[in-house]
Amino acid sequence: MRRMLISLLVAFGLAGCGSPTTPTPPAITPAPATPTPLAVTPAPSQVACVQVCPTSSSTDGNYRLELVLPHLVWKAGDAISGSADLGLTDGLPAKVAGASELIAFAFDQVGGNRHVAPSWLQSCVVYPLDPASPTNVALYKSGGFTGTEPDADFLRSFFADPQIRLPIGTWDITAIAAFSEGGCSGLEHTIKTTLRVTVTG
């Protein structure tokens, strides 16, 4: 299986004082090797919604990825929650191989330059998929930055917050499942599905 994307290192340090010819490099703090959901989110059927939960889904062969959020309009400062399911479209159990997290999430400002791309630990873990109980992952953040990006201040603040909070504006939240069919050297799949949310003042 193609090697999974390695997480970028998160650079929080500033260049230290050194001699004019040998400046001290910035202090580098690596991103967590294994992203952990920051809050336990119930399965989509149990997400608290005012009426019907907003959902989006994509299918690739026998595999279906679904993203579920409680609602699509959030207030600035709200901790955004939700979850994603990876399941099967037929009634036969299957196995897939992927990184330490089978599903990751991206956060992209619509019409802006603020983007959080997810990352996966380079590994190969085999996961069983049962048609009766899809694999469920709560919304979480992963990724990193070097400190030279135009949106470095936003990324630094975003990753420092233990919750998922987004600035005022329109955002696309995307669930991404990347895995190999059957085992580490099987047919590769990447499935994406997106919900657009609005953050108000």
SS3 124: coil
Would you say 124 and 97 are in contact if contact means Cβ atoms under 8 Å apart? yes
Cα torsion for 132, 134, 135, 136, to the nearest 10°?
Answer: -120
- Answer whether residue 22 shows pLDDT above 50: no
DSSP strand pairing (125-129 vs 94-109): antiparallel
Average pLDDT, the chain: 79
Split at pLDDT 50, 70, 90, the class of 64 is: very high
C-alpha separations of 172 from 21, 87, 111 in Å: 45, 22, 10
Residue predicted with more confidence, 56 or 44: 56
Q: How does DSSP classify residue 4?
A: P
**In whole angstroms, what is the distance from residue 68 CA to residue 13 CA?**
36
pLDDT tens digits for range 89-131: 988 899 999 888 899 999 999 999 999 999 887 788 899 999 8
**In whole angstroms, what is the distance from residue 196 CA to residue 198 CA?**
7
Instruction: Report the range of poorest mean pLDDT among 6-10, 18-22, 54-58.
Output: 6-10
pLDDT tens digits for range 134-182: 999 999 999 988 888 888 999 999 999 999 999 999 999 999 999 999 8
SS3 151: coil
